[in-house]
Structure 1
């Protein structure tokens, strides 16, 4: 009996520790100079992946090249609230001797993640220089071109699919092939790579879902060439998504290009969807990787992440954030400086220094994301302002109460946090006790009764503070805060 009590106490202790790890909730967790003329009543409570239903993706890439260390940051994943991670499988790290596959490094990651209830999205890439014409292990290095390289790639994919059968059900093929401007001229070699890889995976794991292409750019013209080739070869059914990245300074600038991509996909398939597979902004200016040429801060990084994720989701695009931790790129790769798009700051040894503002902002978003599943027609909303804005609205399935998100979207996110009030009228609005939530800081504010009115079937909000980071108006009963 004593042993049973000891075991029970042990598991209770583990539960308490795991529940509290890296989820501090206090007014000072994220501080900005945002001034809101409302009474603050609390801060959003974080939710772990075990408390949410979302399918948001967290980037955990570059482990194949040791630019980050999963085991240094893994304890931050579950409390963040994003249920899926994107990994790169690292052919060159797995097969250092021809025909000998050592998955131990990747096993330690996937087994740990799956054991914590995290879903895996596994990307097959990059090349392997032990084979003539096998490509390189680096970004922009090019995929296998020789017959020996292609055959070796096929064998590795088969071995990997067999090894992770029953653990990995979602896959992606190669990363940003279109940044290799010479090789991409032969686009049929890329479609062939995608088809061969998908067929191997599907043969071993028939229930697998696969994202094709993983394009760096939202290029509808190039996509059409690939889709046409997939169609001519009768292979469209192999794929469930077309994944893409397309980094832009102002998040909303991407959507005209993405809409053209969607139109191309719909021309060829009624089942393939879009997946924004990799995107994020730096926390410092003029560092390595995309979007470096801007004077970023942790605040503007966090605003960018919220705007891109919510903008994607509001347009029915699968989405996520890149990346969990800062990345110490090596001199042989296409990126020469440290890539500081991480939600976590790391040192040169890949150890976590601290969580950045963006970590908490994404955590706030994850805590309310399950409320954003049933959209409301935004044409029912009239916003009285002279500034460009984004707005998305949703309705809770059970209570039928509505919520909406709004932010100014005229420019790249800034450090300026002074809100400008707007009036919002909602035809057929269904609100009971709405509160104002700043997703950046997580703070929850009471909207004064004098700023809320109803005229016929219109629900009116007067002097609603809006700035260049998403705020949410939601019923107090639908959120958890403390």
Structure 2
């Protein structure tokens, strides 16, 4: 696994493995594809002003595939990506969330999972040469996105189906997985026995992952675990 990615509030930082010690990305997270373009452009320029080199944004599946097997990227998406690239910011696209064409919850059936992977492939192909960072889902273990909590086994299946489709477009693309909620770290502070990260990061999954994302938000925790230094 090449990278360990940490998202804290809006600011994103990446702790790089020894092999990638010269790479460090400082970035911000936003939801630009569902904003008007004027707002998005200002957000991109402000991010550049504070020296952000990456912007992490959602790429909502339902906005692109509104009929099974038929995809259409909104023009605004291309405008946003092109603006980022023009000012030297790397786009990081979160492939989320579900699509009601295939079910009401997370992609756990074979058809739903294949459809998600097909969407990921379409995104990677459409933005080839402009987007080289993709994240498979966001906080699978929670209800983020208005869906029931997911389990590790189903997420592993989703990753194993999706990762090869993205990499088939361009092997240089970095595919980020994990991205569990702060609750995934509860075991570290004795607040839970579940350990999403340990369960997910099996030797097998190393072949389907270029980077691991974690969300170590601590503001809501009780003292002394409300400080990043405790982790």
TM-score grouping bracket, smaller chain normalisation: 0.7 to 0.9
Distance, in Å, in 1 between the alignment partners of 2:108 and 2:36 is: 26
Change (3 A) 1:97 1:127: same
Note the alpha carbon deviations across 1:423-470, whole angstroms, 9 max, x for none.
xxxxxxxxxxxxxxxxxxxxxxxxxxxxxxxxxxxxxxxxxxxxxxxx
1:253 aligned to which of 204, 227, 231: 227
User: Match of 2:200, SS?
Assistant: helix
Superposed displacement of residue 93, structure 1: 0.9
Contact 2:164 2:208 in 1 (8 A): yes
Instruction: Mark the runs of 5 or more structure 2 residues left unpaired by the alignment.
Output: 1-22, 188-194
Q: Determine if contact 1:177/1:215 at 8 Å carries over to the other structure.
A: yes
Matches within 5 A, 1:272-283: none
1:205 partner SS: coil
**CA drift at 1:127:** 0.9
TM-score (norm 2): 0.73
The separation in 1 between residues aligned to 2:30 and 2:107, in whole angstroms, is 24
Is residue 2:158 matched to residue 1:193?
A: yes
Structure with the greater relative contact order (CA < 8 A, sep ≥ 6): 1 or 2?
2
Query: Is structure 2 residue 63 aligned with structure 1 residue 93?
Result: yes
8 Å Cα contact 2:28/2:52 also seen in 1: yes
Distance 1:128 1:255, change over 3 A: farther
How far did 1:252 drift?
A: 5.5
Contact 2:120/2:165 (8 A) holds in 1: yes
Q: Distance in 1 between matches of 2:133 and 2:169?
A: 13
For residues 76 and 91 of structure 1, what CA distance do their matches in structure 2 show? 27
Deviation of 1:89 (Å): 1.1
Pair 1:167-2:138 in alignment: no
Secondary structure of the equivalent of 2:135? strand
C-alpha change, 1:143 and 1:255, in structure 2 (3 Å) is: farther
Once residues 168 and 66 of structure 1 are traced to their aligned partners in structure 2, the CA distance between those partners, rounded to angstroms, is: 19
Aligned to 2:176: 211
Residue deviations 1:20-74 (CA, integer Å, cap 9, x gap): xxxxxxxxxxxxxxxxxxxxxxxxxxxxxxxxx952011123x345499413533
- Normalising by structure 1, we get a TM-score of 0.37
Give matches, 1:358-397, under 5 Å: none
Aligned to 1:81: 51
Check if 1:106 corresponds to 2:80: no
Q: Greater Rg, structure 1 or structure 2?
A: 1
Answering whether residue 198 of structure 2 is matched by residue 224 of structure 1, we say yes
Superposition RMSD in Å: 2.6
SS of 2:66's equivalent?
Answer: coil
Following superposition, the deviation at residue 84 of structure 1 comes to 0.9
Q: Secondary structure at the match of 1:179?
A: coil
Distance 2:36 2:107 in 1: 23
Q: State how far apart, in whole Å, the 1-side matches of 2:142 and 2:205 are.
A: 24
Task: Report the Cα distance in structure 1 between the residues aligned to 2:139 and 2:36, rounded to whole angstroms.
Answer: 18
2:93 aligns to what SS in structure 1? strand
Rounded to whole Å, the distance in 2 between the matches of 1:151 and 1:54 is 33
Deviation at 1:247, TM superposition (A): 2.1
- Quote the offset at 1:200 in angstroms: 1.1
| Offset at residue 100 of structure 1 (A) | 2.1
2:33–2:80: 8 Å Cα contact kept in structure 1? no
What is the aligned counterpart of 2:99 among 118, 128, 136? 128
Q: Aligned residues, how many?
A: 191
Counterparts of residues 309-324 of structure 1 (less than 5 Å)? none
Partner Cα distance (2:33, 2:106) in 1? 16
Q: Residue 236 of structure 1 aligns with which residue?
A: 206
Alpha-carbon contact 1:56-1:83 (below 8 Å) kept: yes
Residues 66, 126 of structure 1: alpha-carbon distance in 2 compared, 3 angstrom cutoff = farther
